[in-house]
Structures are given as C-alpha cells and as structure tokens.
Chains A and B, each alone.
Chain A
Amino acid sequence: MANPLAGVRAARHRLKETHPLSVLIAERLGLSVLLLWAVSVLIFAGVEALPGDFAETYLGQSATPQAIANIREDLGLDRPITTRYFEWLGGVVQGDFGNSWASGAPVSEQITKRLGNSLFLAFFAAVISVPLAVGLGMVAVHYRNRIPDRVINVVSLAAISLPEFFIGYILIVFFAVQMGVATFPSTVYDNMGWSERLAAIALPTATLVLVVLAHMMRMTRAAIISVMSSAYMETAELKGLGAFKAIVKHAAPNAIAPIVNVVALNLAYLVVGVVVVEVVFVYPGMGQYMVDAVTVRDMPVVQACGLIFAAVYILLNMAADIVAIVANPRLRHPR
C-alpha cells in the first residue's frame, strides 16, 4: 500500500467491526490521556505567565537583587522552561509533584489530605443533590406545565442564577448568624468526630447542592420528556401496560445516558467548583490550598492542584461517555 496510514486505518476499521465497544472505549481512554497531557502543558505555561515572582513575594522588604537571584538559583528557576517542564512532567507521572516552595514539604503529602477533605465535601453534596435532582425532575415531568413544575423550575433557576459565594454568605447570615443552628467557619481538623465533621460541612454542602441542582434537574426533566413523547411509549400504552411499568421498562433505559452525562458534568463541577465555596467557608480543602498557593506564588502547588482538578474533570466526563456508549444498543449489538 502506498500510504502506510491506510493500513493502520484498515486495521482499525476491521477491529471496529469485530469489537466496536472495546475500540470506542479505548479511543475515549486514549483521548483522555492526550487531553490530560495538553492540559499539563497549558497549566505549566499559564503558571509561568503569571505576573509576580515567588522570590519577591517571599522576601518582601528584604528583596535585594542578589537575594532574589540566590533563591531563583536554589529553585532551579534559572534553567530553561522546557527542561523544567519535562522534569516536572517526569515526576508527575511517577506521582511526585515536587516540593512546595513555601514550606519545602513534598506537595503530594499535603495534597492527599486536602484532596480527601474536598472529596468528602463533594461526596456529600453529590449524595444529596443527584437523587434530589433526578427526583425533582421526575416530579416536574409528572406535573408538567402545572404549578409544582413551575415552582421547581423557578426556584432552581433562581438558585443557579446566583453566584455560589453569594448563596454561601446568605446561608451564613441566616443559619449561622441569625438562627445560630449551623457552624461557621466550616474548618475541620484531623481529630474531629464524625458528627462534628458533618455539622461543620452542612452549610458548604447546602451551597454546592443549590448550585448544581438546577442544571441536573432541568436536564433530567428534558430527557424524560423527550423519551416519554416517543412513539415507543405510545406503543407501551397501547399494549395496555400500566404507567409505572411503562416508565421503568421502556422509558428508563433510554433516559439513562443523557441523565448520566449531565450528572457526571455536575459531579466534576462539584469537585472543581469547590474553590470558591471552600474559601467562603474557610474549609481546608484543595480549593483553599490552591488559592493560598496562588497568593504566595507557590508554583508547584498551583500546578499540582490544577492538574488534579483537570484529571477529575476529564475522568468524570470520560466515565459519562463510556456509560453512554455502553447504554446504546446500537453500539452494544452491531448489525
């Protein structure tokens, strides 16, 4: 064959005929890795382009040109950017994010605890918001264009329209300051008991739930309505099936893919979007860690946080893609 690519393409085509599902999933995985690498370049370049300098911030008043040059040399900042990038990337691949410039401690150690805290918060927000959103979506469909549907729509739309820091402060004012039923700040410590910990995260969790609820609810509603108006639902009705049975057996399998998609997107937002919420509630998670690091120009920490956020985002989206692929009978059972 004249074109070597043609052979590869033909092989891929053959593989696609025999194992369409595996090929598609493998493609998704490959794309995700590629995307993550591209993000690492962007993060590194972005951090490099940030105005300000660690050495100047660190030294403050005592910043003499000589002192600055010393620190830069200590951190290896005098070497070319590409060298530093590949060194960093090589470490990251092995799970080593380097040492924090500010504290000198390995970033990986600090980040594990912070990430744990963030995931703890996001997990509870998800546990509450996903069933609530899907449930409300179903209620909205059931009372479509009637008062419960409108109320759900307006309230959730109002919630999504307000920025999360605003919702956060309002919740603090009402529940912590005026009524005194919630804890603020939401700082958690290592030796905290479970009940205390849960009480501490009540307000940030509520804020996150309010922020992601509307999107998931509306997409669930739209997905179910689109499935319910399809011809096969009429067929089910004309077969004499009860409404419940028709929904479980005929609507649900077809509504799963779009709903999973939007849920995954919002889960990703939960993990990534905690940055602002954590700062508002003084919660020691990844977001706050990153914001602190940015203020002192602690680049290894900023890079690590950025990359982990990106990885979470890509991973969840990939999971949604794979669920959608597996849920599609056309791909599961080729002709």
Chain B
Amino acid sequence: MSDLLSVRDLRIGATIFPPGEAPQDIEIVHGVSFDLQKGKVLGLIGESGAGKSTIGLAALAYGRGGVRITGGEVFLDGQDILPLDKKGIRNIRGARVCYVAQSAAASFNPAHKLGDQVIEATVEHGIMSREEAHKRADYLFEILGLPDPKNFGNRFPHQVSGGQLQRAMTAMALCSKPELIVFDEPTTALDVTTQIDVLAAIKNAIEKTGTAALYITHDLAVVAQISDDIMVLRNGETVEYGPVQQIIENPRQEYTKALVNVRQTKQTEARDQTDALLKVENISAAYGNGVQVLHDVSLHVPRGQTLAVVGESGSGKSTLARVITGLLPPFKGTVTFGDEELSNAQKDRSRDHLRRIQLIYQMADTAMNPRQTVGQIIGRPLQFYFGKRGAERKKEVIKLLDEIEMGQAFYDRYPAELSGGQKQRVAIARALAAQPELILCDEPTSALDPLVAEGILDLLLRLQKERQVSYLFITHDIAIVRAIADSVAVMLQGKLVDFGPRSEVLNPPFDDYTDLLLKSVPEMELGWLEKVLATRKMESAGH
C-alpha cells in the first residue's frame, strides 16, 4: 500500500446530555473515506459541526471529550491503528503523527519553557537525545522564521505573540520528524497579516521536511494555498473530494459552489456621504492603567449608511465603539450625534440618547442572559424604552421575530436552544427593538461560518434599507468591507490611517498599511500565496 494514511468508512459517535432528558448516543461522522500519500497535503474543509476536527483527531486515534470512534479503519502506513492498545497508540502520538491545535496559546503549558515543550515528545519517544532535539528545535525555529531562533526556546509561552506561538506549535509537531501532521485551524485565530506569515512558514516547513499533512480549516481560500487535495465536509459526510484545482475552479456540488462564491459585493456604495449622523472628533482615550489606546481619531457615519472600521487585534476599533457608547469616556475629543453633542460618560446620557445607539456583539452567546427566553430578551428594550407590557409587548416581539426571519415559534426558546446564527439574529432584533438610528456592530459575523455569516449580512443590509438605520461595522475581514461598506476607516495601533468612501480607500493609490492589509487577505485563487510572497520579496529587495 503506497498510501501513508488511509481512512476507510470512518464512523464517530458521541454521547450528548440534553437538559432534562436521558443521555443519547448520536453519530457525528457517517462513514468518511480518504487516502493521503507521503509528503502530500489534504485539506479538510467545512463549517462548524461538519466533523472535520473529529476526523483529524481520529488520525491520532483520539476522541475529544465524550467522542469515540465507533467504526471503520484508520491505516497508518498499512497498519490499522484503531485496535491498538494504549501503549501502541502512545508510540504513534507525538512520534509518527503530531497535532497542531487552533489555539496554541491554550495548548502550551504556561509553566514550562517553549523549548522544553517543543522537544518533549521527541525525547520521550527516544527519537533523539535532548541535545540533538534542542538543536533540531533551533533549526525549526529558524525555518519557521521565528526571531532569535537560538534563544527562542528559553522563553515562556506568555512572552511571545500569538503568531509566534502558532509557529512554535508547528515546530513542536515537526520536531520528532513525524510522517503526518494534523493542522487544526492553525491560522484561524490570527490577524490576516500574521496569518500569511504563518501560512508561508507552514508551507515552507512541510516542503522542506517532506511530512504529510491533514489541514483542517473553514476557509477555502486558505486551504487552496497549501493543499494538494481537498475534501469538503458537511454534517459528518463527504460533500466533494478531489484535487484542489478541480474544487476551486470547477466545483461540482451546490454546497461547494456556495463556499467558493461566498463574499461577493452586495451593495453599491452610496453617492452622498456628507449627511453625518454620528461625528467623532479628535478622540483620544486611555484605559485605567494609563495605556493610551486611541490617538486623535476623527470620523463620521453618514445617515442610513455603513461605515466599516477595519484593523487587526489591538488596533483600537472596539475601544472606539466603547467611547461612542460612553462606556469608556475619552480624555479628549467630542462625539456628536445628530445635532447634539453627547456626554462623554454613559451615565450622564439621557435615556433617549442611549436608545438611539445600540450594540451588537461578536459573541451573541455571552451577550444574552441564558436564563431568559427569546421573548424576554427582545421584550426588555421595548419595556425599558417604550413602557410596553403584556400582550402589546408580545405582539411587538413577534413582529421583530418575523423581521429577522425566525418567527413566533422561537418566542419561548432559550438561547441554548438556538444555533450561532439564530442567536446573532436575536441580538439584532434586541438592538432593533429600541428603534435606534445607529447600530454599532462589533465583529458580529466573525464567530460564524461563512454561509451563516452571509445570511446575517443580508439581513443587516435589508434592515438598513427598510429602516434607514446607520451601521458602524467593526471587522477585521476585508471581504466583508468590500461587500457591504459605504465608507471605510482603517485603524492601526490606535490611530486612524485611512478614512473615506470605499471606492477611494480600497483602490489605488493606497495608504501603505491599507495596501498590506488588502494584500494579506487570502484569495480564492491557486498560487496566490506564492505570488504575494514573491511581491514582498521584490519590494524588500527594492528598498
């Protein structure tokens, strides 16, 4: 058998504990098969719940939580690893098959140095001596582009950045010279400009070491840069499986087509952007520890339009929203709403001012009281701002539920009974209930799967047309900006680096940082990564 990894009719089950009911056994992967040759990369793609991580972990004969493999075979170099005893499986894990987790920050032990953790499995399995392993780790740190590779291993996890941790985790997986590495969304938690570096480092390391890889992600554009084959999964079943070129350029299944075509322009830019609803002028703000996070930011949101605020983590975009709501009073600058200047602190604002600006958060989960029903959650602002009660309130809530395309049936449900997309819709309805003129949307779609996110964006745009509400849309995703924004503000380290109509900001001539940001967004195109890296090299050679 020439295949390194051969999975046959893999079935994976779990026991769930629905509240108030007896535990149930369910099947989450229904007979998946694939083959992977030595040195090749197979991309596993699908939305959450598709079973992609579960399948990846099956290559290490591991089930997370209550998950267990119930049927099928997993051949590693011709040997079925599922029937192996504990010791047999331990000899494979960390030696022949390694795992790179999504959150390297959580996956490293905070109490030990990075270097010791990187070589641990290699030394434990007797593959190399401690000195040899340290030498190999230093080499890996170097090819993964980590700073000061000789001393990098002496650092503790909290002393390095998220992107560096992710690369260190890749080094940890490569250290024992495994035959196969399972990458589980290794770049999902990173900023785009960091993601591209990590992606390039991983690709380079795979090519140099000749290891095979299973690359798990929900982002088709990312996986297209690194894979030889792609398998599209949905609800634990294979949707489509083939070479990367065929999947990207000639998808056969409807679902794959939808994934490829996601994120297209939804709205043309508004012509007149002068009628400002919200004006932010010369805002500077700092948190209690004295660290200044916003430096002299000025921008405005036109009435009935969308301003997208883009930037990477730490750029101050969420802080800007906190300043606008009054949760964080700025030490300098003013916020004007309509014709009135707003008080800096939220507690000094009138109820009417509070009503006219509403918020939607990234995590709808944590923004709702889990012990309240959907009806109570949406009804609360109706009662608070308009004094509506009883049957009248219920009628309004149901009207709002219809508007967000959910309907009366959800009135008595609890948040835990809703999917991620439905929760975000309820959060939108709660914001709408106050009849706001401006909604601050703080990454409302970044925790959602692409197709679900698209549904939310469509809903927001439709509501904007119907109600003339303005959005200040915070995001790190340029594709969303392209799809929905009228004007764009680009932020970097608390400063506004670019602001204007979408067509001006996203087209040449570019601001330097905006250019970098735009170029770092993976595109659904084969060879995109090489092209970007080549341009970068040329640019740095030119300087």
Query: For residues 89 through 133 of chain B, which have their beta carbon under 8 Å from a beta carbon of chain A?
Result: 89-95, 98-99, 101, 103, 106-112, 120-121, 124-125
Q: Tell me whether A333 and B156 are in contact (CB under 8 A).
A: yes
Contacts of A146 on B, CB cut-off 8 Å?
none
Tell me the smallest distance from the CB of A241 to a CB of chain B, in Å. 6
Residue B158 interfacial (CB < 8 Å): yes
- Choose from B62, B109, B125, B156 the contact partner of A237 (Cβ within 8 Å): B62
Query: For residues 6 through 61 of chain A, which have their beta carbon under 8 Å from a beta carbon of chain B?
Result: none
- Identify which of A116-124, A216-224, A228-236, A290-298 touches chain B: A228-236
Q: Tell me whether A239 and B158 are in contact (CB under 8 A).
A: no
Residue A1 interfacial (CB < 8 Å): no
Query: In the complex, what distance in Å separates the CA atom of A266 from the CA atom of B517?
Result: 55
Query: In the complex, what distance in Å separates the CA atom of A178 from the CA atom of B43?
Result: 74
- Choose from B60, B94, B109 the contact partner of A250 (Cβ within 8 Å): B109
Contacts of B159 on A, CB cut-off 8 Å?
333, 335
Query: In the complex, what distance in Å separates the CA atom of A329 from the CA atom of B113?
Result: 10
Tell me the smallest distance from the CB of B151 to a CB of chain A, in Å. 13
Least CB separation from A238: chain B residue: B99
Least CB separation from B60: chain A residue: A238
Contacts of B108 on A, CB cut-off 8 Å?
232, 235
Query: In the complex, what distance in Å separates the CA atom of A250 from the CA atom of B120?
Result: 11
Contacts of B107 on A, CB cut-off 8 Å?
231-232, 234-235
Query: In the complex, what distance in Å separates the CA atom of A239 from the CA atom of B97?
Result: 9
Tell me the smallest distance from the CB of B184 to a CB of chain A, in Å. 10
Residue A330 interfacial (CB < 8 Å): yes
With contacts A231-B103, A232-B108 taken as known, whether A240 is within 8 angstroms of B158 at the C-beta atoms is no
Tell me the smallest distance from the CB of A62 to a CB of chain B, in Å. 65
Q: Tell me whether A239 and B156 are in contact (CB under 8 A).
A: no
Query: In the complex, what distance in Å separates the CA atom of A149 from the CA atom of B109?
Result: 27
Tell me the smallest distance from the CB of A228 to a CB of chain B, in Å. 12
Residue B64 interfacial (CB < 8 Å): yes
Contacts of B103 on A, CB cut-off 8 Å?
231
Contacts of A253 on B, CB cut-off 8 Å?
109, 111-112
- Choose from B64, B90, B101 the contact partner of A240 (Cβ within 8 Å): B90
Query: In the complex, what distance in Å separates the CA atom of A243 from the CA atom of B535?
Result: 49
Q: Tell me whether A240 and B106 are in contact (CB under 8 A).
A: no
Least CB separation from A242: chain B residue: B90
Q: Tell me whether B158 and A335 are in contact (CB under 8 A).
A: yes
Per-residue CB contact flags for chain B residues 33-57 toward chain A (1 = under 8 Å, else 0) read 0000000000000000000000000
Q: Tell me whether B121 and A239 are in contact (CB under 8 A).
A: yes
Least CB separation from B102: chain A residue: A231
- Choose from A232, A237, A333 the contact partner of B93 (Cβ within 8 Å): A237
Tell me the smallest distance from the CB of B370 to a CB of chain A, in Å. 20
With contacts A239-B120, A242-B90 taken as known, whether A230 is within 8 angstroms of B99 at the C-beta atoms is no
Query: In the complex, what distance in Å separates the CA atom of A234 from the CA atom of B67?
Result: 14
Query: In the complex, what distance in Å separates the CA atom of A236 from the CA atom of B172?
Result: 12
Contacts of B112 on A, CB cut-off 8 Å?
249-250, 253
Least CB separation from A230: chain B residue: B106
Residue A254 interfacial (CB < 8 Å): yes
Residue of A230, A231, A330 contacting most chain B CB atoms (<10 Å): A231
Query: In the complex, what distance in Å separates the CA atom of A236 from the CA atom of B99?
Result: 11
Q: Tell me whether A240 and B91 are in contact (CB under 8 A).
A: yes
- Choose from A235, A250, A335 the contact partner of B101 (Cβ within 8 Å): A235
Contacts of B125 on A, CB cut-off 8 Å?
240
Tell me the smallest distance from the CB of B512 to a CB of chain A, in Å. 28
Q: Tell me whether A241 and B124 are in contact (CB under 8 A).
A: yes
Contacts of A236 on B, CB cut-off 8 Å?
109
Q: Tell me whether B121 and A240 are in contact (CB under 8 A).
A: yes
Q: Tell me whether A239 and B124 are in contact (CB under 8 A).
A: yes
Query: In the complex, what distance in Å separates the CA atom of A253 from the CA atom of B108?
Result: 13
Q: Tell me whether B91 and A329 are in contact (CB under 8 A).
A: no
Q: Tell me whether B94 and A329 are in contact (CB under 8 A).
A: no
Q: Tell me whether A240 and B62 are in contact (CB under 8 A).
A: no
Contacts of A237 on B, CB cut-off 8 Å?
62, 93
Per-residue CB contact flags for chain A residues 240-260 toward chain B (1 = under 8 Å, else 0) read 111001000110011000000
Contacts of B120 on A, CB cut-off 8 Å?
239, 241
Residue of A237, A240, A245 contacting most chain B CB atoms (<10 Å): A240
With contacts A234-B64, A239-B120 taken as known, whether A254 is within 8 angstroms of B93 at the C-beta atoms is no
Q: Tell me whether A231 and B101 are in contact (CB under 8 A).
A: yes
Contacts of A333 on B, CB cut-off 8 Å?
156, 158-159
- Choose from B62, B111, B156, B158 the contact partner of A238 (Cβ within 8 Å): B62
Tell me the smallest distance from the CB of A21 to a CB of chain B, in Å. 14
21 pairs from A and B in contact (CB 8 Å cutoff): A232-B110, A234-B64, A235-B107, A236-B109, A238-B98, A238-B99, A239-B93, A239-B98, A239-B121, A240-B121, A240-B125, A241-B120, A241-B121, A249-B112, A250-B109, A250-B111, A253-B111, A254-B109, A329-B156, A330-B158, A333-B159
